[in-house]
Amino acid sequence: MGKKVEVREIQWSMVAILLPSACILLGSALAVITEAGLSSRASTGAHGLSEILYAFASASGNNGSAFAGLNANTAFYNLALGVCMWIGRFGVILPVLIIAGGMAAKKTVPPSAGTFPTHGALFVVLLIVVVVILGALTFFPALSLGPIVEQLIAVQG
């Protein structure tokens, strides 16, 4: 588009990417360490953690549904999931609007030797690798304790 992506845009994009993930993980951690969060589970163990993780992931993704078995209609979950839904929505919208405003104010710069082309296969591969690595580093520890263990237990019978 002829605009330079600088440090400010990268910092705001990281805020937009990490805030929903932080809501999921911190909300789940809060639910797991409090009696109010644990009392609403229908199952214990890996499935109980999966119920909690799904509720916070759904709320942070602005869906707001709950995994079967979790009683999310309690004061704790209404407040915690509502905050996650609010942050999941505005924690992405506001940084993106800030980035858009900053980019709109910038002048167009002609391509140079330092310009990274975004229309080739290299860009697509790098983008996919970064997204997969960021997702794995963010969620694999929590997923390995909940849904992955639950699947392994189900496979063993």
User: Which one, of 147, 156, 25, lies nearest residue 80 by Cα?
Assistant: 25
Is residue 57 within 8 A of residue 24, CB to CB? The reply is yes
Say whether pLDDT at 157 is over 80.
no
Secondary structure class of 51 (helix, strand, coil):
helix
CB 146 within 8 A of CB 57: no
What confidence tens digit (pLDDT) does each residue in 78-128 have? 999 999 999 988 989 999 999 999 999 999 888 888 888 888 899 999 999
pLDDT at 16: 93
Residue 66 CA to residue 130 CA, distance in Å, equals 29
Domain spans, the chain: 7-156
Predicted confidence at residue 82, as pLDDT, reads 92
Predicted pLDDT of residue 83: 93
Looking at residue 85, what is its pLDDT?
A: 92
* The amino acid at 82: G
